[in-house]
């Protein structure tokens, strides 16, 4: 079933106020084989200034947003995008994207500006059909006033899931 709202996507940045989105790091831990054998195909969606569906900036897949199209199988780094960690468990599990994958993208030459708000999210798999572990860091500039953000959870509740040593 197609995702026609973006409501259940993984949210990378949600901010209110006036500013400019600069980029992000996204980490995906593929801890088990699922419908799709890899983490890709999740559309990126930028809802700017309260815009309704469909957003004007709507990408075609995780791999395309991070400039690594066609199921990347090699780590690489460039000025504005890169894949810094690729399937670290692949050798022992026998499938390419097994384990932790980490990527980045910076919008230096293609800035994304907002006047009232921004909600940048990405599907976890096509139409949110995957359930891997996601974590991210977003970078943006913003002038006052801004929305107040919730207090971070205690460290114990923010630690990554531990892999079973027998996996």
- Are 97 and 87 a contacting pair, CB within 8 Å? yes
- Are 95 and 34 a contacting pair, CB within 8 Å? no
**H helical segments located in 42-146:** 62-65, 90-93
pLDDT computed for residue 96 by the predictor: 82
Residues whose CB falls within 8 Å of the CB of residue 110, separated by 6 or more in sequence, listed in order: none
pLDDT computed for residue 99 by the predictor: 87
| Residues in the chain, overall count | 167
Q: Give me the residue label for tokens 């894949």.
A: 83
Half-sphere exposure at residue 68, Cβ-oriented, CA atoms within 13 angstroms: 26
User: How do the domains of the chain map onto residue ranges?
Assistant: 10-143
Distance CA 152, CA 164 (A): 27
Cis peptide bond prior to 30, omega within 30° of 0: no
User: What distances in angstroms separate CA 164 from CA 23, 48, 49, 86, 93, one per listed residue?
Assistant: 32, 40, 43, 19, 12
pLDDT computed for residue 164 by the predictor: 52
Structure-block tokens of residue 49: 């200034």
Looking at the domain 10-143, which fold is it?
A: Jelly Rolls (2.60.120)
pLDDT computed for residue 148 by the predictor: 81
Nearest to 24 by CA among 78, 83, 105: 105
pLDDT computed for residue 167 by the predictor: 45
**What pLDDT tens digit does each residue of the chain (167 aa) get?**
889 999 999 999 999 999 999 999 999 998 888 877 788 889 999 999 999 999 999 999 999 999 988 778 888 999 999 999 988 777 787 888 888 999 999 999 999 999 999 999 999 988 999 989 999 999 999 998 888 878 888 998 887 766 554 54
- Are 112 and 19 a contacting pair, CB within 8 Å? no
pLDDT computed for residue 147 by the predictor: 81
pLDDT computed for residue 34 by the predictor: 85
pLDDT computed for residue 163 by the predictor: 58
């Amino acid at each position: 079933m197609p995702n026609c709202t973006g409501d259940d996507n993984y949210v990378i940045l949600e901010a209110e106020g006036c500013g400019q989105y600069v980029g992000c790091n996204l980490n995906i831990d593929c801890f088990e084989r699922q419908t799709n054998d890899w983490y890709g195909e999740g559309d990126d969606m930028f809802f700017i200034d309260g815009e309704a569906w469909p957003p004007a900036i709507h990408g075609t897949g995780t791999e395309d947003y991070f400039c690594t199209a066609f199921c990347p199988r090699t780590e690489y780094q460039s000025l504005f995008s890169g894949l810094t960690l690729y399937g670290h468990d692949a050798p022992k599990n026998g499938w390419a994207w097994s384990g932790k994958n980490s990527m980045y993208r910076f919008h230096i030459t293609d800035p994304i500006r907002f006047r009232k708000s921004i909600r940048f999210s990405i599907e976890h798999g096509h139409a949110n059909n995957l359930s891997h572990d996601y974590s991210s860091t977003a970078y943006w500039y913003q002038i006052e006033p801004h929305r107040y953000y919730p207090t971070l959870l205690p460290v114990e509740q923010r630690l990554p899931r531990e892999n079973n040593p027998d996996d």
